[in-house]
Copies of this chain bind each other. A is one copy, B any other.
Amino acid sequence: MIIQTTPHCSMPEMEQILQEINKLGYKPARVETQYGSYIVCVGTAEFDIRLLGNLSGVRDIHMVRDQSKLVSRQWKVKSSEISLGPDMVISRNDLTLAMGPCSIENEEQVEDMVAFLKSQGVRLMRGGVFKPRSSPYSFRGLGLEGLKMFYNKCNEAGIFVVTEVMQVSQVAEMYDYVDVFQVGTRNAQNFNLLDELGKVDKPVLLKRGMSSTLDELLASAEYIFSNGNEKIILCERGVRTFERAYRNTLDLNAIPYLKEKSHLPVFSDPSHGIGLRAFVETMSLASLMAGADGLIMEIHRQPERAMSDGQQSLNFDEARRCIRKIRETVKFRKELALLEDL
């Protein structure tokens, strides 16, 4: 159950609401976000909903049977929209493209990429400065200094930055140089990090854990939301399977399922989802027809020289062709949706 409280709910009103909830045998958790005040109540007892609904300070009550409450569509019919700026909104109404290298490597690389993205009308650049690598001896990213350079170059050009955060203390350090925090697959259940990201007012792109179920993904999103941050993007990036022909198995089933189950925008990451450059374009288009609200893709001016993930990065020519097809496909799926209403 979720209780939305009124914006000006007074202390005594709140006390009374909590008292009633406890009396009914429910365990209440208060949540304040950028957009509203909620009490999430966990319990099972049956009762007359008017008992609570008529209390002063209560705006609305929703019965939510889903395990994850605040991210569930059961109480919020309208899909969430996340604004990065006056003219840049992530939502289900349009496609968001986030592109860039796996790792930020140097200034020149960023400049080339920024120029390329501008030429293509892509507004969001991805790029890692803290890299989770299975071996401690691999390149682990340029760190905070790299981020500052990356952010400044983008900012000048009107491009937004999405980059991975790996631990609690980085959240504050990175805050000024990030437009969207990315949580990687290995941190999808790093609950302390999720808690921390719930306390900031910047969007979080939350990738699915390598072997996570979608319920676990939604529970991770619930951590962020219940700590106060409603700006969450879910991202399918492939799961581990027995198949060895490709790095991961992009689970496109997840896209329509998550869109029905949750009100959050849902992205796809075809680069990690298949991990083979030759097939990334195809899987990006398949993602769109599965309903993806955004794509996050790796591109590199010289994939064969990339410091990481070169085997799955498109070069500029490939990216250009792919973007054109993506735009056509987005147009097509809109027409197809209109067709339905005829």
| Chain B neighbourhood of A61, CB < 8 A | none
A280 (CB) vs chain B CBs: closest residue: B256
Question: Digit string of A209-245 for contact with B (CB within 8 Å is 1, else 0)?
Answer: 0111111100110110011000000000001111111
B243 touches A251 (CB 8 A): yes
Report the minimum CB–CB distance from A212 to chain B (whole Å): 8
> 1/0 contact trace for A114-157 toward B, CB 8 Å?
00000000000000000011111100000000000000000000
Whole-angstrom distance between the Cβ of A313 and the nearest chain B Cβ: 17
Determine if A159 is an interface residue (Cβ-Cβ < 8 Å).
Answer: no
Q: Specify which of B136, B287, B289 is in contact with A223 (CB 8 Å cutoff).
A: B136
Give the residues in chain B near A257, CB-CB below 8 Å: 245-246, 276, 279
- Complex Cα spacing A189 to B185, Å: 10
Which of B42, B168, B329 touches A169 (beta carbons < 8 Å)?
A: B168
B250 touches A279 (CB 8 A): no
> A190 to B169, alpha carbons, bound, how many Å?
14
Chain A 241-276, CB-CB to B under 8 Å as 1, else 0, gives 111111001111111110010000000000001101
B133 touches A191 (CB 8 A): yes
Contact between B137 and A166 (Cβ–Cβ < 8 Å)?
A: no
- Of B137, B289, B339, which one neighbours A27 at CB under 8 angstroms? B137
**0 or 1 for each of A298-342: is its CB under 8 Å from B? (1 = yes):** 000000000000000000000001001100110010011001100
Q: How far is the CA of A114 from the CA of B280 in the complex (A)?
A: 39
Please tell me if the beta carbons of A244 and B282 are within 8 angstroms of each other in the complex.
Answer: no
A167 contacts the other chain (Cβ, under 8 Å)? yes
Does A297 have its Cβ within 8 Å of any Cβ on chain B?
Answer: no
Interface size of A as a range? 35 or more
- A51 within 8 Å of B by Cβ? no
A251 contact from B186, B249, B289, Cβ within 8 A: B249
Q: Which residues of B contact A64 (CB under 8 A)?
A: none
From B187, B211, B250, B286, give the contact of A242 (CB < 8 A): B211
The verdict on A174 contacting chain B, using a C-beta distance below 8 Å, is no
| One of B167, B240, B249, B276 near A193 (C-beta < 8 A) | B167
Q: How far is the CA of A274 from the CA of B258 in the complex (A)?
A: 13
Q: Among B227, B279, B339, which residue has its beta carbon within 8 angstroms of that of A256? A: B279
CB distance from A277 to the nearest CB of B (A): 12
Contact residues in B for A214 (Cβ distance below 8 Å): 243, 245
Whether the Cβ atoms of A191 and B210 lie closer than 8 Å is no
A290 interfacial by beta-carbon distance below 8 Å: yes
Central interface residue in A190, A260, A273, A325, by most chain B CB within 10 Å = A190
Is A278 among interface residues, defined by CB-CB distance under 8 A? yes
Residues in B neighbouring A340, C-beta threshold 8 A:
321, 325
Contact yes or no, A213 B245, CB < 8 A? yes
Hey, which chain B residues are within 8 Å of A289, CB to CB? Answer: 282, 285-286, 288-289, 329
Where the two chains meet, the residues of A that have a C-beta atom closer than 8 Å to any C-beta of B are 27, 29, 40, 42, 67-68, 132-137, 166-169, 186-187, 189-193, 195, 210-216, 219-220, 222-223, 226-227, 239-246, 249-257, 260, 273-274, 276, 278-279, 282-283, 285-291, 321, 324-325, 328-329, 332, 335-336, 339-340
11 A-B pairs (CB sep. < 8 Å)? A135-B219, A136-B219, A166-B191, A167-B193, A186-B191, A239-B242, A252-B283, A285-B289, A324-B339, A325-B339, A329-B336
